[in-house]
Amino acid sequence: MRSEVPQSALKKALLLEEGWISLSQGVELAPLERATAGPDAGLRSLFVEFDGYRVRLAVEESPFSLVRRSDGFAVELSGTTFLEKVAVQTPPHHVPNQLFINLSTPCAFDCKFCATPKLGIGFVLKPQKVARIVEEALERYRIDAIALTCSVLGSERESVKLLSQVVKLLRREFGHSIPIGVEPYVTKPEYVDELYSVGADEIKINVETFDRWIFQAVCPHKSYERILAALEHAATVFGKNRVCSNVLIGLGESDYTTLSGLRKLAEMGVVANLRPLRIPLVREEELRAATGGRAHRPSAARILGLALKYKEVLNRHGLRTYRFKTMCFRCTGCEIVPQQDV
């Protein structure tokens, strides 16, 4: 590993490679939130913080365990100390100091890495309900940002309409002092414009992978070209360091393909979240079949190596992950974030 990598970043990468943590006897925490969106849907998770780093781990059987010590929490790896004096966060709304709300779960699409449509719980939050959640959270917690995600309801239009209605209502009730990020599936430039015009500050449109063969296999209902076109348009509307996109690492793609795609996004002014793949149990067979058995959680070395190379790309294009005010670059829990972790 290159010498510029701090020990703490290496430890975060090792925790990300594993993705799970178990709770030792005697560890009592506030109720853990169960995610409803993406590959983590259905899992209970917590955040471990150390040396300025934050990592989100799902709670399950794991060689890493959270233990209670007289001076706080520590993380052990197979019984020996891995991290001392860690802080543990169990935020009620998905992310520390941020209100990240999933507006809906029924989905017309069938992305092979996503557990949301398989959750067995179907809900669609009405704008008024979201406003009450926000009101209550603002009264009770320190909230620096709001993030809104949703499934694809009957159509792209339907989901964008719901997101727009929610953003509009939140702006009307709570003003413009709190940043709002939105994460829609969107391919039409006019929908991007609409979300911006109602008051969204940042947007995430997920490309998922730059490997076209894998994209077709794992996102059978999505259009790769139209996602890229929407991202390019969004960068001109929302501006620099306000448009991002999830890129999954571990679907069987090569680093070469990934870095070429990342350069292309950077030229557009779009910043990517390099997200280690988690294979949901409910999708395991489908995902392995769709990727020809190549889907796997990436190693710590690969996670770090890509983050370091991507940092150079971002620096070259004047893009800054730390300028984002909402969503994953604000949180940093699920990946090694260039310019923040390394």
Give residues in contact with ligand SF4 (CB under 6 A): 56, 94-95, 100, 107, 109-111, 114, 116-117, 151-152, 185, 327-328, 331, 333-334
Residue partners of 133: CB distance under 8 A and separation at least 6: 93, 99, 101, 125
Tokens 């409803």, residue? 36
For ligand SF4, which is the closer residue by CB, 65 or 273?
273
Q: CB of residue 213 vs ligand SF4: minimum separation in angstroms?
A: 18
Q: CB of residue 102 vs ligand SF4: minimum separation in angstroms?
A: 9
Q: CB of residue 236 vs ligand SF4: minimum separation in angstroms?
A: 24
For ligand SF4, which is the closer residue by CB, 87 or 267?
87
For ligand SF4, which is the closer residue by CB, 130 or 287?
287
For ligand SF4, which is the closer residue by CB, 32 or 68?
32
For ligand SF4, which is the closer residue by CB, 116 or 291?
116
Q: CB of residue 269 vs ligand SF4: minimum separation in angstroms?
A: 21
Q: CB of residue 329 vs ligand SF4: minimum separation in angstroms?
A: 8
Q: CB of residue 34 vs ligand SF4: minimum separation in angstroms?
A: 13
Residue partners of 239: CB distance under 8 A and separation at least 6: 269
Q: CB of residue 81 vs ligand SF4: minimum separation in angstroms?
A: 25
Instruction: Report CA-CA distances (Å) from 43 to 145, 240, 277.
Output: 23, 33, 14
Q: CB of residue 330 vs ligand SF4: minimum separation in angstroms?
A: 7
For ligand SF4, which is the closer residue by CB, 91 or 269?
91
For ligand SF4, which is the closer residue by CB, 75 or 146?
146
For ligand SF4, which is the closer residue by CB, 80 or 166?
166
- What is the SS3 string spanning the chain? CCCCCCHHHHHHHHHHHHCEEEECCCCCCCCCCECCCHHHCCCEEEEEEECCEEEEEEECCCCEEEEEECCEEEEEECCEEEEEEEEEECCCCEECCEEEEECECCCCCCCCCCCHHHCCCCCECCHHHHHHHHHHHHHHCCCCEEEEECCCCCCHHHHHHHHHHHHHHHHHHHCCCCCEEEECCCCCHHHHHHHHHHCCCEEECCCECCCHHHHHHHCCCCCHHHHHHHHHHHHHHHCCCCEEEEEEECCCCCHHHHHHHHHHHHHHCCEEEEEECCCCHHHHHHHHHHCCCCCCCCCHHHHHHHHHHHHHHHHHCCCCHHHCCCHHHHHCCCCCCCCCCC
